[in-house]
Amino acid sequence: MRKHLFIVAGGVVLVAAWALANVRLEFPPGPPYYAQFSNLDPYGEEIYHTEEWAAIPFYRDPSCVPGAFNLLDFFDAPRVFQCALKVGGFEIWAVPPWEGGPGPIQARIQGLGAVPIYFVSWPELRAAVVDRVLTMDELRALPSLKIGYATFYSSNLHPSGGSANVPHIQIVATGVLQDGKQFQFQVAGGDQSALVKHVRIVFW
């Protein structure tokens, strides 16, 4: 709340002006999607990749994702809320979703111990999504698939689809693959789709 002071004809009039406050939404329930991976008009592809590998971070239990659901469609409310969250955090909204807000200004996400990340050969994934469809069944069938679990996961997103003045994304994740190798996954860029400037995926 802000108060403005006006001087009128030698008298003092206090006028209360209620400022529109941002709304902070804590997890759960969390965002209405399974993974940070999409291809939505007019924002384009949100696929994090290098020349060699692509990474799909899952914010909900992948075993709960319907096998025929197109991951590139991103949103799946209300069904998605039946799947356990693998992350915690919060979102900041200028206009909350129940009032028709276009999206959050900011989303801060932290892993809850083991965030699933699926790694796939980028040439292989690029061929698989040419029809703008990638189901969980198709993803699991890709020969190059490596499944990892991030013991550290942090994401700071100012999404282009929301009310953010300057879109931005930063992801930092480290963890272990099912075969025992370690990985590092990093993203830094202007937003979560076309303006991503840097992606790093390393195994050792």
Q: What is the pLDDT of residues 139-149, one digit of tens each?
A: 999 999 999 99
Residue pLDDT, tens place only, 108-167? 999 998 999 999 999 999 999 999 999 999 999 999 999 999 999 999 998 876 566 778
Q: Greater confidence, 163 or 175?
A: 175
Indicate if the pLDDT at residue 12 is higher than 70: no
pTM: 0.86
Task: Specify the pLDDT at position 145.
Answer: 98
Q: What is the pLDDT of residue 7?
A: 32
CA 145 remoteness from chain centre: 21
Query: What is the DSSP code (8-state) at residue 136?
Result: H
| Dihedral sign computed on CA atoms, order 153, 157, 160, 166 | negative
Sequence spans of domains, the chain: 21-203
